[in-house]
Structure 1
């Protein structure tokens, strides 16, 4: 189940959905939100399913989704009782029902798009009776029905043919029984697999719930162990103040604003549709009221009432403070929600790390010490790594020069040996080199003995001078570094403030954008509804025009004095068809009477013919038998004559 949810979340985060879910946020969705996600996926397959579930009844939602899933050939595993539970789960937004549907849809989205597109051309349409009065529509409908009946007859014949082929096989009934048992066992296996999967899901959810509760218990124990009564009381007082502010000030204001907005929208909906003249009248009224307001403001400014001015100043300050207070309350609420989500993610990560290596996660000062230690080790590692890289590069160069020098030395030695062989003094250069090497080693040892102390004293002096030079050179750099560190802290603080402002502004813009998107979606849906209504009314008008034209033609033909025109009337045609059918029925009844009267004699005659056929068949068999006996006697007689001749 976890793999299934992971696949669903990954698919929803990609194009074209871009939901930005993770496993926790997706699993914590409400049933209505989960149904909306399913509706969005179905809308990607079939654009007609693009509906906001808040504006649709639950029965219509279930009917719409079940009809589309039936067209897409989705088969939930289980029997008839499970089908009823599937429908109920789809209505209430049950996770064990919707998760497999989402997994199945997201696995084969492109294939299902083709199937949904072709379904509109393959499903039989319910044609209203008023449209069937048209001859072309009625003919096409009859042709479709006749074609479907032919296909049904072909299928019945094919089934009967297969039954006949199977009935000739040996152990037909036994094999049929075994096949029926196999089908029952397969259905039972699927049912048991589904039950097993459901139990696994329940176990997974129970383990997650247990882990969350254990983490909450652990955090509460830690908070209770670390906290003091004074800090707890202070925290509780702050929470009480915040909750009181939210309950007494913020929520009532929001509720009042929503009520006003709802009242205004109801008022707008209840009013009749406005035309261009009404809009012009309203604009003129608005302009008049604005001019009156400006005049009143000018009069008030000319009076120069100081008390009122001071009060307006205080009012402005109070409104600014209240707005700031509301903004801070919203920020605090968002911060609490963010903190809760981060704590959930941290607990999840902590559990994952505990599962991986079985160790606890470091906290607080331990983590800081670990990070500082890791940084010092990383700097040392980088330095050593750089030194090793430099030494490797230098070693490569020296190795290459050594190879070149060895090659040159070998060439020179070969030339020298050839020259010595020509002069007749082979081996002279080797002995000369050995003597020079021994003398050089002796002189080097003597010099090293005398220079060791002098070199050591000079090296100490050089090191001291280098240390003092480095200190003097780094003093200015250290001062600049301190200033830069202070500046870096100021910039980081400013960056954090700007980031918080940006986040709050982005959240506001995002909420406005979502509201505008909802409004645009609603207007598009209204436009589509009006377009469909327009097309429907046009079709009805055309249908009524056709009926009216037919009625006028019928009246003209019926009233006309010309007999040819009267014969063209539908009434005359129908009366003529009725008379023909009545004559045909009369003839068929007479024919039926004749058949009934001659049925008895005909059956007797047929029986006599069958008896005659049996008698002739018996005579034929007797004749053939007599023929075979006479031929055998002739053969025996001919054999006796042959023996007599011999």
Structure 2
């Protein structure tokens, strides 16, 4: 609660309230002042709430505040019965009601401002009853509230009005959303204006540059022909880019086609593998096993788990519905548990004493049945986990295979293929080393050629500069440049034609190679598939032998398991008894220690209370309780005194002010009489003095 008040005081002392409260002054506010503070906070959220509470009736203020709090979706703590107390507390101005409201409002002021602003336009109007007495107003209100329900012409018109009203609301919602998006988008008008001005400057610069280039081109001879050639060059470049894109697309299509082929081959392999094992007997066996497993899961395992979960839920609901328990309740429950445990132990002992042979035989069968059921459940869980693991591993294998295909477009190599691949890599590494040496030689030659190229470029630039000076002198500037451009354009065109021819030839060759590779792979895989079939037959024979051995092992293990379970049950029973005895021992020890501590405290208290020494008596708990009671009484008296001082503070101050005013008035009269002293007689002075003395005596 103190944290809540601290938060309220901090917020009220900041902008825009600036109340300058501290914890004491805020806590000592009267109900009307507290209501005024709440109204100021509401007025900050909704400006329509700016009202002086003293000039308004309490019912009206409560109604106004409750309506606004309802719009702001404030939920008071408690249930429906507490709503009446909340309304009364709001009317009275009680602190337990208003403090939580202030805390809630000051926590989310900006959000509530937006909500109050939207409520002005999105909450449907409620016409007061006094205005509904007018017939036209009542008719229009009925039409808007009815909407499309009427079948007459009026009902249709009312539906149109209702539609317009709702359309306007929806339009306001969309506009407000757009406005909020624009506010949060980060764009500002200043930035947009800056961008526009920069773009306009760039546009002006480009226009000037174009004009300058036009002027320069107009001076050149045959500029129209040169422009036409430049256009043709641009068109050819665009066409070249388009052809390059087409080539890339065709490469991608080819890559996808290869991948599709590999996928289809894998599917074909899996289908053949399945077809090799697809005997009707094996399929029937597999289906029977799956049906048995699924029927066991549906009929036995899942219903048991569901019942257990329901029991747990029922038990938890019971625990939740029960009231909170104290230390004494827990002790009672522990005592009951101990009693029940003792009764159970007695019954077990009686049963053991009887030693009925029929029940002993039945217990053996029951134990075996429980062991088998447990084993069945465990095996079912293991099977389910194995299936999940298998599906996960298959998913991982498929993912890894797709990753390897995407990486280098080939399948994962196994066995002899991997060895061949390693030998190929070794041969390629020797070739790579030779090529690397050749590349190093080429790099050295490239360095020399680059240097010669730089020297030749410098010479070319000098010659070009000399040629331009000669052309300027002769009046034919730019002639050599245009001739070079024409030659370059023709060379580029011939190169593009050559590249087109090469790409088409390369694609046809690639298709032929792919077809030949597919045929080779098929011929290579045929003997491997024959070997695989023989190995599968062997695998089936071995699995049959394995199943027979497994049945023998299971029958032997069941007998051993039953003997082991008997011994385990005996050991478990003895351990439980041992644990119960230990828990009783520890519980009794703890209770003894608690009682010893309480006894020690009681003896210390008695010694302190009985002893003649005053210091020892002061240490007693009774003395402290007495001091606390005295201090509480003193505090009550001081609070009452403070209340009386507060109540009489206003009238006392008023009376003191009146006395000061009267003293000033009498002082003025005295001064006036002293001035007139020289003109008046001694008798009059005496009379005046007597009058003053009598007047002072009466007032004092």
Please state whether the residue corresponding to 1:126 is helix, strand or coil: coil
1:315-338, CA deviations, whole angstroms, 9 ceiling, x for partnerless residues? 122112211211111111111111
* Cα distance, 1:254 vs structure 2: 0.5
1:637 corresponding residue in structure 2:
none
* Cα distance, 1:351 vs structure 2: 1.5
1:45-98, CA deviations, whole angstroms, 9 ceiling, x for partnerless residues? 999999999999999999999999999999999999999999999999999999
Which is bigger in relative contact order (C-alpha 8 A, separation at least 6)?
Answer: 1
Asked if 1:300 is matched to 2:351, the reply is yes
Asked if 1:401 is matched to 2:452, the reply is yes
Q: Is the 8 A contact 2:35 2:93 kept in 1?
A: yes
TM-score (normalizing by structure 2)? 0.25
**In structure 1, what is the Cα distance between the partners aligned to 2:11 and 2:335?**
54
1:400-423, CA deviations, whole angstroms, 9 ceiling, x for partnerless residues? 999999999999999999999999
* Cα distance, 1:263 vs structure 2: 0.7
Could you tell which deviates more after superposition, 495-504 or 130-139? 130-139
**In structure 1, what is the Cα distance between the partners aligned to 2:351 and 2:371?**
23
1:116-159, CA deviations, whole angstroms, 9 ceiling, x for partnerless residues? 99999999999999999999999999999999999999999999
Q: How many residues align?
A: 638
Q: 1:437 to 1:315 in 2, by over 3 A?
A: closer
1:502-540, CA deviations, whole angstroms, 9 ceiling, x for partnerless residues? 999999999999999999999999999999999999999
Q: 1:417 to 1:340 in 2, by over 3 A?
A: closer
* Cα distance, 1:348 vs structure 2: 1.1
Please state whether the residue corresponding to 2:679 is helix, strand or coil: helix
Q: 1:593 to 1:629 in 2, by over 3 A?
A: same
Could you tell which deviates more after superposition, 258-267 or 379-388? 379-388
Please state whether the residue corresponding to 2:17 is helix, strand or coil: coil
Q: 1:249 to 1:600 in 2, by over 3 A?
A: closer
Could you tell which deviates more after superposition, 231-240 or 183-192? 183-192
* Cα distance, 1:271 vs structure 2: 1.1
Q: 1:545 to 1:402 in 2, by over 3 A?
A: same
Q: 1:234 to 1:350 in 2, by over 3 A?
A: same
* Cα distance, 1:219 vs structure 2: 4.0
Q: 1:107 to 1:391 in 2, by over 3 A?
A: farther
The CA RMSD measured in Å over matched residues stands at 32.2
Q: Is the 8 A contact 2:368 2:562 kept in 1?
A: no
Q: Is the 8 A contact 2:8 2:106 kept in 1?
A: yes
* Cα distance, 1:393 vs structure 2: 34
Q: 1:221 to 1:157 in 2, by over 3 A?
A: same
**In structure 2, what is the Cα distance between the partners aligned to 1:59 and 1:282?**
53
1:469-503, CA deviations, whole angstroms, 9 ceiling, x for partnerless residues? 99999999999999999999999999999999999
Q: Is the 8 A contact 1:46 1:116 kept in 2?
A: yes
TM-score (normalizing by structure 1)? 0.27
* Cα distance, 1:5 vs structure 2: 47
1:390-440, CA deviations, whole angstroms, 9 ceiling, x for partnerless residues? 999999999999999999999999999999999999999999999999999
Please state whether the residue corresponding to 1:74 is helix, strand or coil: coil
Q: Is the 8 A contact 1:78 1:191 kept in 2?
A: no
1:291-334, CA deviations, whole angstroms, 9 ceiling, x for partnerless residues? 11111111111111011011112212211221121111111111
Q: Is the 8 A contact 1:86 1:97 kept in 2?
A: yes
* Cα distance, 1:229 vs structure 2: 2.1
**In structure 1, what is the Cα distance between the partners aligned to 2:509 and 2:254?**
78
Could you tell which deviates more after superposition, 521-530 or 315-324? 521-530
Q: Is the 8 A contact 1:5 1:23 kept in 2?
A: yes
Q: Is the 8 A contact 1:36 1:52 kept in 2?
A: yes
Q: Is the 8 A contact 1:77 1:191 kept in 2?
A: no
Q: Is the 8 A contact 1:77 1:194 kept in 2?
A: no
Q: Is the 8 A contact 1:78 1:190 kept in 2?
A: no
**In structure 2, what is the Cα distance between the partners aligned to 1:148 and 1:578?**
83
* Cα distance, 1:222 vs structure 2: 3.5
* Cα distance, 1:290 vs structure 2: 0.7
Which ranges of structure 2 fall in alignment gaps of 5 or more residues?
Answer: 144-194, 685-695
Please state whether the residue corresponding to 1:630 is helix, strand or coil: coil
Could you tell which deviates more after superposition, 159-168 or 201-210? 159-168
Q: 1:513 to 1:70 in 2, by over 3 A?
A: farther
Q: 1:294 to 1:333 in 2, by over 3 A?
A: same
* Cα distance, 1:286 vs structure 2: 0.8
